[in-house]
Amino acid sequence: MKAFLDVLEQLYKKVLLGVTLDNENHDYIFYLDPASLDQDCSTMTSLECPNPHGVQDKHQPSSANLATISVLPMCLKKHSPIGSAREIVLLQLTVIKVMVTRILSVETDFRAKEKYRDVIKILLKSSDIDSKLTCMFQDSDKLLSHMAAKCLALLLYFQLREK
């Protein structure tokens, strides 16, 4: 859990500074899919939800530079307090928001902008994030609902600009 949060914080700092990302684009998707935390782990089998001290799961990023994590994001609620899961979702939404803002900024380095663009495109295609964010609108947590709305608005704007 702590390692997952640490990786997100590092990613946030890199994107905030406009630094070009080093790893494979798909590695970042693992950390940026916010709705995976909302799934109920109690219905998952032990094969789908690794133990916190287990071996790396096949869905995890292979890059050692990003982080070594043994717990999937969808299992974080089961192994941690709800406040921590909330913080992670808010950080994920913030990273996505800053990444899209960096793509739209004229001050961002071209290579960094292209890397961010690729990550966002993969996130939009692979995770059905728009419908997941829409589901968050009804969350009783007003901050989470607001961040989901802002994030979705920026993602829609990004998609319109790309076309």
Predicted pLDDT of residue 35: 54
pLDDT digits (tens, 9 = 90+) for 50-81: 333 333 343 445 443 444 333 334 444 444 55
Three-state SS sequence of 7-60: HHHHHHHHHHHCCCCCCCHHHHHHHHCHHHHHCCHHHCCCCCCCCCCCCCCCCC
8 Å CB contact between 15 and 102: yes
* Residue 117: C-alpha distances to residues 19, 20, 147 (Å): 13, 11, 20
pLDDT tens-digit map of 93-149? 999 999 999 999 999 999 999 999 999 999 999 878 988 899 999 999 999 999 999
The pTM is what? 0.73
User: What is the domain range of residue 7?
Assistant: 2-162
Q: What's the total number of domains in the chain? A: 1
Q: How many residues does the chain have?
A: 163
